[in-house]
Amino acid sequence: MRIGPYAVIGGEVSLGPGVEVHAHAHLSGRTHVGARTRIFPFTALGGEPQDKSFDGGSTELVIGSDTVIREHVTISLGTPKGGGCTRIGDDNLIMNTVHIGHDVQIGAHCIIASFVGIAGHVEVQDYAVIGGFCGIHQHARVGESVMVAALSGVTLDAPPFSLVAGERATLRGVNVVGLRRRSFPTAVRSEIKRAYHLLFHSKLRLEEALAKARQSGFESAEVERLLTFVEGSARGVSR
């Protein structure tokens, strides 16, 4: 473990083996940092939620292993009404000047580019990439292996394996590059594309398209996760 000069580590903070906290970083609250995570200067982790209804409580911030958190990142504690925990998974890259709000749940292997703002209660699933200067609306979900183009505003759920873009982000297709980077077999990539065509390009109402997809004999676990994500959307899905 290495702690740089002028870093502030609060009394309830716990650091795993091999953690690096660079100069002038500020860690407070019930913040738990996993092994080998690197925290760069002027970050503020574990501060009170930016929520006017927050009146205290035993909430926490949990950060996984092997994550890189660059300069001026802010990540808030959870709130009692949001489950009590803001959680960041393993092997993420969070670039400079990102804000991650209270009760956000971020999976593993994600890349969040500079100047992204993620509002409270957002879910970002594994392998998602969020481009620079994006804003994610509270309670929205960004699915597995989604690519959010830079300068986008995500107000509805971005379905897994998709590319979304725009001032109010809309679906622009399958994230083909992301699928290849994860080395999905050709058959799986083909099934995902077929499922996307059925759900979003068949001109069926979404409920009808989902029902038809359930009857179409898709075999991959990836398509099952896609269908489950869409079925569970509370805000609606980008189309």
11 counts as catalytic: no
Q: What is the pLDDT of residues 172-207, one digit of tens each?
A: 999 999 999 999 999 999 999 999 999 999 999 999
Q: How many angstroms separate the CA atoms of 31 and 61, rounded? A: 5
| Among 91, 103, 126, 157, the one annotated catalytic | 103
Which residues, including other chains, have CB under 8 Å from residue 207's CB and lie 6 or more apart?
none
Q: What CATH class does 2-178 carry?
A: mainly beta
Task: Tell me the average pLDDT across 83-112.
Answer: 98
Q: What is the pLDDT of residues 118-166, one digit of tens each?
A: 999 999 999 999 999 999 999 999 999 999 999 999 999 999 999 999 9
- Within the chain, residue ranges assigned H as helices are 176-181, 186-200, 206-214, 221-231
Q: Is 90 exceeded by the pLDDT of residue 57?
A: no
103 counts as catalytic: yes
Q: Are 50 and 32 in contact (CB under 8 A)?
A: no
Q: Would you tell me the crossing angle of helices 206-214 and 221-231 to the nearest 10 degrees?
A: 150
| Among 120, 131, 135, 178, the one annotated catalytic | 120
Task: Tell me the average pLDDT across 196-220.
Answer: 96
> How do the domains of the chain map onto residue ranges?
2-178, 182-231
What would the DSSP string read from start to end of 150-185? TT-EE-SBB-TTEEEETTTTEEEEE-HHHHHHTT--
Q: What is the pLDDT of residues 62-77, one digit of tens each?
A: 999 999 999 999 999 9
pLDDT value at position 186? Answer: 97
| Among 22, 99, 102, 137, the one annotated catalytic | 102
Q: What is the largest CA-CA distance in the chain?
A: 61
pTM of full prediction above 0.85: yes
99 counts as catalytic: no
- Number of Cβ within 10 Å of residue 56's Cβ equals 7
